[in-house]
A and B are shown apart, each in its own frame.
Chain A
Amino acid sequence: MYINIKYFGQIAELTQTKEENLEFSGIIVSELVETLYLKYSNLRTKNFQIAQNQELVSMETELTGNDIALLPPFAGG
């Protein structure tokens, strides 16, 4: 399936894109993260959380398809 992935803050700086569609055949979030590590090797050094459909999810969460975001540490306020 194709997954839409959004990048923010220092993660977007590293990927040099804010959004992309990626073909992906895994099932859970950690598999997607491994795929992204292969594409962006420096991503391993960064701290981030994953949101799926605008909710934070764990590495074991099953991917439902669209709207994945990589979120670096929050800095609001």
Chain B
Amino acid sequence: MQDKKPKSVFKEGAITSEFIGNSIYKHQTKTSIGAHNIFLGQVRADDIDEKTVLAIEYTAYEDMANAKFHEIREAAFEQFELTCMHIYHSLGTVKAGEICLFVFVSSPRRKVVFEALEYIVEAIKADVPVFGKEVFEDESHQWKKNS
């Protein structure tokens, strides 16, 4: 059974390890699954001009972002034999070391989940209008840009 209903992707603040662990636990009842794959994006304490990034403050064009997340989901289900897929992205402040993106794909077989996860994460980075303000120790900031 495919799990295709629209989900809310954005969560306020960091994505906790409890939330991630609980998501894994919830899949124990879906016994057609033989392989999960998980991507966790973590805020990096980059050093830029001798200042260290303390946190990233995320904002988004939420309506467009949700539409893009939906398109990515549909395209991934179309392309890969997935049992289910979950995407969560933070809004607001996420401190260095905390998780800001959680992508979770499941399939009967392992090869599919490796390919699907990379496809989804790259599409999120390229196509979803999310913006990140990197805040330094001295309260100055710069704007993050995906490379």
Q: Which residues of A contact B (CB under 8 A)?
A: 6, 8-10, 51, 54, 69, 71-77
A3 to B30, CA, bound (A): 49
**Contact call B61/A75, Cβ cutoff below 8 A:** no
How many A-B Cβ pairs are below 8 Å?
A: 71
* Cα A20 to Cα B40 with chains together (Å): 36
Interface bin, chain B: 20 to 34
Q: Which of B74-82, B104-112, B119-127 contacts A (4 or more CB under 8 A)?
A: B119-127
- The 8 Å CB contact of A9, one of B59, B100, B121, B146, is B59
Residues B145 and A6 in contact, CB atoms below 8 Å apart? no
User: Which residue of chain A is the closest to B125 with respect to CB atoms?
Assistant: A77
| Beta-carbon contact of B63 and A54 below 8 Å | yes
Nearest A residue to B67, CB-CB? A54
Partner of A74, one of B56, B100, B129, B133: B129
Which B residue sits closest to A67, measured CB to CB? B63
Other-chain residue from B63, B67, B130, B143 in contact with A76 (beta carbon distance below 8 A): B130
Which of A54, A69, A71, A73 is B143 in contact with, Cβ under 8 Å? A73
Q: Are A77 and B100 in contact, CB atoms less than 8 angstroms apart?
A: yes
CB distance from B105 to the nearest CB of A (A): 15
Contact of A75 among B64, B67, B127, B130 (CB under 8 A): B130
B132: contacting residue among A6, A54, A75, CB under 8 A: A75
> Could you say which residues of chain A place their CB within 8 Å of the CB of B53?
none
Interfacial chain B residues near A75, Cβ < 8 Å? 56, 58, 130-132, 143-146
